[in-house]
């Protein structure tokens, strides 16, 4: 324990995932002794982000405005809607640069064990989205966990009749993967979902 202010900073840094007492102390010391101006800039950026970033009214991803830049972009394809669990998934898919459609963020997945039911996700909003805007293809990009699969199935039931087709991300062999190290579920899925060369 150095000072009360130092302890307070360490305690706040510990809210970050994977940051324990030791790492928090190291971060705080680093900022105080070597990166003070950057530390102040960090504090400002945090304050700005925490107060200013909200949920996009349309896709429920993160946004500075009522509607996010992705939803506002006229070059995106309105006929495809990719349903993901979190804003992090939007970022991951955007980084592939392989998708030009729109997104919809559910806000998680169904998980009875954790008490997360359909009412806790943006499913009503998704139904409203697809009934208000015509969609050709709804791409279900929820996780491949049991919860993710259950969520995909649930959405397909709830929304499927409002769209022309519902697709699911292919599952199978990861890039650079050796077949012998794959679990049999993944390899089985890869065989089922095989595509033309
Ligand atoms: Zn949006």
Return the closest-CA partner of residue 106 out of 127, 85, 130: 85
Mean predicted confidence (pLDDT) in 6-10: 96
**What was the pLDDT predicted at 128?**
93
Say whether pLDDT at 134 is over 70.
yes
Q: How far is the centre of ligand 1, averaged over its atoms, from the C-alpha of 55 (Å)? A: 8
DSSP for 1-36 reads ---HHHHHHHHHHTTSTT--HHHHHHHHHHHHHH-H
- Mean pLDDT (the chain) is 93
> For the whole prediction, is pTM greater than 0.95?
no
pLDDT digits (tens, 9 = 90+) for 149-196: 999 999 999 998 899 999 999 888 888 878 888 888 888 888 888 888
Q: How far is the centre of ligand 1, averaged over its atoms, from the C-alpha of 145 (Å)? A: 25
Which residue shows structure tokens 């009934």? 131
Return the closest-CA partner of residue 105 out of 75, 150, 50, 68: 68
Q: Which domains are assigned to the chain? A: 86-170 (3.40.1360.10)
Strand partners, 55: 62
Q: How far is the centre of ligand 1, averaged over its atoms, from the C-alpha of 174 (Å)? A: 30
185, two tokens:
């579920």
pLDDT digits (tens, 9 = 90+) for 15-63: 999 999 999 999 999 999 999 999 999 999 999 999 999 999 999 999 9
């Amino acid at each position: 324990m150095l000072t009360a202010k130092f302890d307070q900073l360490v305690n706040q840094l510990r809210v970050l995932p994977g940051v324990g007492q030791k790492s928090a102390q190291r971060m705080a010391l680093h900022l105080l002794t070597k990166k003070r101006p950057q530390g102040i800039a960090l504090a400002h950026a945090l304050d700005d982000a925490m107060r200013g970033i909200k949920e996009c009214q349309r896709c429920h991803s993160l946004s500075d405005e009522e509607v996010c830049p992705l939803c506002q972009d006229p070059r995106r394809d309105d006929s495809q809607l990719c349903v993901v669990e979190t804003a992090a998934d939007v970022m991951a898919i955007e980084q592939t640069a392989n998708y030009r459609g729109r997104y919809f963020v559910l806000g998680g997945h169904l998980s009875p064990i954790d008490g997360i039911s359909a009412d806790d996700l943006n499913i009503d909003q998704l139904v409203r989205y697809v009934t208000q805007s015509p969609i050709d293809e709804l791409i279900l990009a929820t996780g491949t966990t049991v919860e993710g699969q259950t969520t995909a199935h649930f959405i397909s039931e709830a929304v499927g009749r409002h769209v022309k087709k519902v697709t699911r991300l292919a599952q199978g062999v990861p890039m650079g993967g050796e077949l012998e190290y794959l679990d049999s579920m993944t390899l089985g899925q890869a065989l089922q979902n095989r595509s033309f060369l």
